[in-house]
Structure 1
Amino acid sequence: MHRRRWAILGVLMLSLLIVVLDNSILNVAIKTISTPAPTGLGATQSQIEWAINSYTLVFAGLLFTAGLIGDRLGRKKVLLGGLVVFGLGSALAAESGTPAQLIAFRALMALGAAFVMPATLAVLMNVFEREEQPKAIGIWAGGVGLAIAIGPITGGALLDHFWWGSVFLINVPIVIVALALMVWLVPDSRDPNPGRLDPVGVVLSVVGLVLLVYGIIKGGELADFTDAKVLATIIAGLAVLAAFVIHEKRSDHPSLDVTYFKNKVFSAAMAAIALVFFALMGVTFFSVFYTQSVRGYSPLESGVLMLPLAAAQMIFAPRARLVVERFGNKATTTAGLVLIAAMLASFATFETDTPIWLLEIIFFLMGTGMAHIMTPTSVVIMQALPREKAGSASALSNTFRQVGGALGIAVLGSVLSTAYRNGIEGRLGLLPPGLRDTAGESIEATLGIAEKLGARGQGLITPANDAFLHAMHVTALCGTGVALVGAVVTALWLPGRPPAGQADKKEAELVTVKD
């Protein structure tokens, strides 16, 4: 047990903070970046989806390899290197001149972040003894909630006073502080028997995910999933991912050890994490347009409105283990997913004049649900593998979280885009042919053209709001269905509350997966 373990946890949380902060900061900047230059970059909705997903896909694709490299070279070295790359990517992203540049520099940031995230949890598992691990993981999960809270408010405050690039530049000073503290405090550790790297698996997983997500986003952009290019890309993505699974099964050093998934408890916990992030990332995406474009709130006000979501996570994540001790993993996680499903369904009732305090209650209850999913599933996953494979378990958990989030933005973003285009197209007949296609891309594009047309464009505002609200309702109900699937999975396969006196035996049963 390390004597400075709680100080080390603080440094690890600072590193984690910027990795999570970056995505939550970007959420409130979506509308600004989609505004035409010089205010923003004039990014289309599909380009915005790629700005988010270039980060999540590179992050997810490299997490497992990054965890193995940390196990092999030493987690402290990998943490320091990852932070330097992340800081450099942040500085470059702040100076992007086009949406394409922003997408590329976000991918560079993800390269650094992929080495930071698994190493933080692996170091945590190394410096804390098993009996303290659930408490430390709870605080670590609370740090994610803190980042989700700080991100939108910080982003909103920066956008109120500075240019859009400031939401990325803010990462640089935090990186410098984290580097200095890490050099001083964090001990190095490594796996005595590290796994071999699997470059073929990494390439197959990244290529497969990018093709799949590209096809889904393109389908939403065209509002036509039967288009030959869309279908071909999605099928190609699924084929490459199938080849990835076959390669991993046959490899003697897989980057994703599929034998772990023979453990139903482990698989159910992974599915719960992926599905909750699928639903949550999709909701965050459309709620920003709802608060800023439909309701007219500023980026800062929009950030403050998201505060209850994060506050609930900070309040309940460290305490969720007490609920698990009383009711068990199954009841706690399933109830969390049902609560999230109910809150998603309530978005389908929102209109332009819905009292904003209702949104605040929904966000708070969503955060409460998340806290009671993330803490128990993280503990189940981390304790289902031997301690020396902490990097692998952390990487797997975060890979599923990121892939779930990326697919959530792609699928629910495409549902939103398709439903919006179908709803607004009939009202764009008065526009010149060249503008019609652009105006149908998103509510922001429609409102931007309405503003340029002046008095002639005023007639587009109400139809744009109506079309967006309908699209949001459809998207929210799709998210509800996904959360309910997650609830069924956890209800069937997560372990219930062990009988008194059998807790130790139950824990021993969980640690069944060997290398």
Structure 2
Amino acid sequence: MTTTAAPPVAQATGLRASPWGTLVAIAFGVMMVALDGTIVAVANPAIGASLGASLAELQWVTHGYLLGLAVFLITAGRLGDRFGHRKMYLVGTVGFVLASVAIALSAGVIMLIAFRILQGVFGALLLPSAMGLLRSVFPPHKLGRAFGVFGSLIGAATAGGPIIGGLLVGSFGWQAVFYINVPVGAVALGLGLWLLAANRPTDPGSRLDVPGIVLLSVAIFALVWALVEAPAVGWTHPVTLASLGAALLFGAAFVLWERRPAHPLLPLGIFANPSVSIGTVLMVLMALGLMGSLFFITFYLQGVRGMSPAQTGMQLIPMTAMMAITSPIAGRVLDRFGARIPTALGLVLSALGMFLLSRLDADSGVAHISIGFVLLGVGLSLVMTGATAAIIGNAPVRFAGVASAVQQAAMQLGGSLGTAVLGAVMSATIVSTLPGHYAAAGLDVPAGEELAGMQSLVAQGGAALPEGVAPETAQAITQASNLAFLDGMHLAFGIAAVVMTFAAVLSLAMRSGTTTGEPAVHV
């Protein structure tokens, strides 16, 4: 492993090259990538109607973006360390905008999915470089504050995605959710050219670890593929087992290989710092509980409660707004007290929020739902800021890109794992409880292939209503299906609460400090 010190950073002149100028410069690029993670969800029905896409193809409109992002993140982080984060950030911004235009111009869903994967690749270039730029210009005692503002940007963009997407699709068509990246990307590019300091690689003497790139890319691709396909085809299906086996094989080969080269893709030595290792695990567990649960809360709000997409987006605002508001405060708390206690407190609050949501029923009041979301929002702002500071702040500055990529990859993989695992819990619970609810309602009890066919629809908050069924029977079927859905949701959200509680205990093993103390610049 190289021990070359990070090159000195140019002196700031006004906003240019200054820490806060850097934060302003990357804000639009970061928000553009975060916005694209949620804005597309409301466009899927319009995309399906316009391009004749199936449900599986529409799912890959989302999964393709995740795949490109997850597979390329760590490689992109290493490229930033090697060639300079400013250069990689600008390349990622331009590529993201061009890919967005190509998506909007797609004549078929397969072409659209291909460009969504490419969009994810350019997003992977952009995000670690943005975090690496922050790590290299902010001094240790203000790094938590920077990560807090960074978290609020992501929270605001995530919160605005469904609302902005609904307005754009309703007024201009589904293509508008991708064309919106053109003006946003233009501002991001202009601010980057103006405010970011001259390009300075933090680890310029390193060489690209091509075997490591290949091994890690195949391992992550196989893992994400298995997590995406398992809920549809089953965990014991040959495709799922083969993908998991390939992920394990190539992952093990990657770890063994990384001990050999002088300039590894992922310097394993950064995990010798317990705060980096624990922070990575916490990010996976947090994303597992959060994203896995929120995937199903939208089905509850729209399917069981009958809310419109716009009403659903409004109901989620207490959580996303609290994340946007409290993340900067969380950053200041981290600068003063370190990462350990605030992160543990955030995980406890998140666990309480998940427990409240696990008690929802078919007629729970808005206050009940909102309190759960407020607790989640406050808790997650502490967790995301704390875990990010633990990972990136404790890694050497010369590996800032790799460390930020590890943080982002952990969050993406945790989200995929959560959706797959909690989805399996939902499905198994529905299959086991739906017949009982049908029997209690005096309905014919489904079994075998009929039950398996109903499971997917019920897991989305719906009900399998036969054509021409009487209104009274339709109401009974809907109520029985909703009760089975709630059974699954209660168990899945309860598991998420337990996972976050375990993570809170684990977080206490982190060091109280948040940074390595390597010099950056002083504000």
Confirm or deny a common fold (TM above 0.5).
Answer: yes
User: Residues 219 and 61 from structure 1, CA distance in 2 versus in 1: closer, same or farther, beyond 3 angstroms?
Assistant: closer
Counterpart of 2:499? 482
Superimposed CA distance per residue, residues 420-444 of structure 1 (whole angstroms, 9 cap, x where no aligned partner):
455558979899x999866543348
The 1:192/1:232 distance shift into structure 2, 3 A limit, reads closer
Q: RMSD in angstroms over aligned alpha carbons?
A: 3.4
Deviations 1:243-289 (A, max 9, x none): 22222233332221112111112111121122111211112211111
Contact 2:356/2:368 (8 A) holds in 1 = no
| Conserved 8 A contact 1:153-1:300 | yes
Q: What residue in structure 2 maps to residue 295 of structure 1?
A: 305
Q: Which amino acid aligns with 2:474?
A: Q
Q: Which residue of 1 aligns with 2:5?
A: none
- On the 8 A contact 1:50/1:103 being kept in 2, the answer is yes
Partners in 1 of 2:110 and 2:464 — Cα distance? 22
How much does 1:458 deviate? 3.4
Matched letter for residue 24 of structure 2: G
CA distance in 2, matches of 1:416, 1:95: 37
Q: Return the offset for 1:453.
A: 6.0
Q: Which residue of 2 is the match for residue 13 of structure 1?
A: 27
CA distance in structure 1 between the partners assigned to 2:249 and 2:444 by the alignment: 41
Does the CA contact (< 8 Å) of 1:424 and 1:464 recur in 2?
yes
Give the structure 2 partner of residue 199 of structure 1.
210
Q: Which letter maps to 1:122?
A: G
TM-score (structure 1 length as normaliser)? 0.85
Once the 2 structures are TM-superposed, how far is the Cα of residue 445 of structure 1 from its aligned partner?
7.4
2:271 is equivalent to residue 261 of structure 1: yes
Letter in 2 for 1:461: T
Aligned AA (1:221): A
Would you say 1:214 and 2:225 are equivalent positions? yes
Structure 1 residue 371 corresponds to structure 2 residue 381: yes
Structure-2 change in CA distance of 1:511 and 1:61 (3 Å): farther
Q: Deviations over 1:430-484 (max 9, x none)?
A: 99x9998665433487859749767689364334323322222222122223222
Return closer, same or farther for 1:289/1:54 CA change in 2, 3 Å cut-off.
same
- Correspondence 1:473 to 2:490: yes
2:293 aligned partner, one-letter code = V
Residue 494 of structure 1 deviates from its aligned partner by: 0.8
1:319 alignment partner, SS class? helix
Q: Given the alignment of the two structures, is residue 136 of structure 1 paired with residue 146 of structure 2, yes or no? A: yes
Selected match of 2:330 from 292, 302, 320: 320
Query: Which of the residues 49, 69, 82 maps onto 1:37?
Result: 49
CA–CA distance in 2 between the matches of 1:445 and 1:386? 45
What is the identity, as a one-letter code, of the residue corresponding to 1:441?
S
Taking structure 1 as reference, are residues 424 and 174 closer, same or farther at Cα in structure 2, changes over 3 Å only? farther
1:328 Cα deviation (Å)? 4.0
Residue 129 to residue 215, structure 1, CA distance change in 2 (3 Å): closer
Contact 1:65 1:198 in 2 (8 A): no
| 2:344–2:504 CA contact under 8 A, matched in 1 | yes
1:220–1:415 Cα contact (<8 Å) kept: no
C-alpha distance in structure 2 between counterparts of 1:256 and 1:446, whole Å: 42
TM-score by length of 2: 0.84
Give 1:176's aligned residue: 186
Partner of 1:502: none
The one-letter amino acid paired with 1:472 is M
1:494 matched residue in structure 2: 510
Q: CA deviation at 1:221?
A: 2.0
Rounded Cα–Cα distance in structure 1 between residues aligned with 2:140 and 2:517: 14
Q: How does 1:157-176 map to 2 (within 5 A)?
A: 157-176=167-186
Tell me if structure 2 keeps the 8 A contact 1:155–1:303. no
Amino acid at match of 2:130: T
Match of 1:458 in 2: 474
* DSSP 3-state at the match of 1:441: helix
What residue identity is the alignment partner of 2:155? G
Query: Alignment partner of 1:190: what SS?
Result: coil
Aligned residues: 497
1:287 and 1:329, CA in 2 relative to 1: closer, same or farther beyond 3 A?
Answer: same
Q: CA deviation at 1:101?
A: 4.5
Does the 8 Å contact 1:155/1:299 carry over to 2?
A: no
> Alpha-carbon deviations, 1:185-232, whole Å to 9, x = none?
32232225333222332332232233233334443224x434454334
**Preserved CA contact (<8 Å) 1:25 1:152:** yes
How far apart, in 1, do the equivalents of 2:104 and 2:432 lie? 34
Q: Would you say the 8 A contact 1:381–1:393 is kept in 2?
A: yes
Q: CA distance change for structure 1 residues 41 and 478 in 2, over 3 Å: closer, same or farther? A: farther
Residue 441 (structure 1) aligned to one of 433, 456, 464: 456
Distance 1:343 1:494 in 2: 23
1:149 aligns with 2:165: no
CA contact (8 A) 2:339 2:514 kept: no
